[in-house]
Amino acid sequence: MFTFCPDCSATRRDVSVDHDAGTVTCPACGATRQYESQPLLVVTGASAVGKTTAYREVVGTVDAVVVESDLYWLEPRGDVATAWRSVPDESRHGFHLLRYASLGQSGRPVVAFGSALGDAERTESLAEADYFPCIEYLALVCDPDEQARRIRARPGWDGAADSGEPWADVDAQTAANERFRRLADDRADYDSFDNTDATVDETVTAVGDWIRRRL
């Protein structure tokens, strides 16, 4: 783990990464070690825009480590999901970045699929964002009426909405979709693909092409 310093045993999130030199420097003692600098690609979006489907089709087809950032919520035992819920957002997002930078040490970029990290302004306010030479974003978006229709059509939506599952909250999810669309309008490092009228295959192709252009 590059945040641990074998020279002084400090573990610091504010290590100094030099992406050109490929080094990381311990802020406690100044020791410098080799660092594999890799970009991070984030494929994000609100509920019912096709992230999970795109993940399933793209994983294994690109020369990158493709991961699901929402894995913690889906952990079948439930203990991890419960504990993860109690972790503050900032720590959760910082841990995602730490984990992806750590995976990058094996020499390939990471593509993270999920709702986490999609808020670029919040992501890049974290010290851990400095572990990457760049972070680029692709948000899958759709028309809010179509998104609401898709959410309500999901198996188990009624019960999930009643029990307060975030994915089933139509108002919150359409608001998140609108925020992703605004980010794509405002930022050069933020793209979107509107799949309101697209087939699943077209969405998968668009996501795969976007990733391959950046590798």
* Angle 97-99-105 from CA coordinates, rounded to 5°: 105
Show the beta-strand stretches assigned E in 30-119. Answer: 32-34, 40-44, 65-68, 110-113
Encoded one letter per residue, x for contact with Zn ion by CB under 5 A and - for no contact, window 105-144 reads ----------------------------------------
Encoded one letter per residue, x for contact with Zn ion by CB under 5 A and - for no contact, window 182-211 reads ------------------------------
**Which range of residues in 2-10, 106-114, 147-155, 204-212 is near Zn ion by CB under 5 A?**
2-10
Minimum distance between the CB of residue 87 and Zn ion, rounded to whole angstroms?
26
Is residue 7 part of the contact set for Zn ion (CB under 5 A)? yes
Beta bridge mates, 42: 112, 137
Pick the binder of Zn ion from 21, 29, 134, 200 (CB under 5 A): 29
Cβ neighbours around 59 below 10 Å, total: 15
Is residue 14 part of the contact set for Zn ion (CB under 5 A)? no
Cβ neighbours around 178 below 10 Å, total: 14
Question: 163: helix, coil or strand?
Answer: coil
Beta bridge mates, 66: 111
| Closest residue by Cα to residue 180 from 88, 48, 40 | 48
**Which range of residues in 3-11, 34-42, 109-117, 156-164 is near Zn ion by CB under 5 A?**
3-11
Pick the binder of Zn ion from 3, 13, 23, 28 (CB under 5 A): 28
Residues forming contacts to Zn ion in the complex (CB under 5 A) are 5, 7-8, 10, 26, 28-29, 31
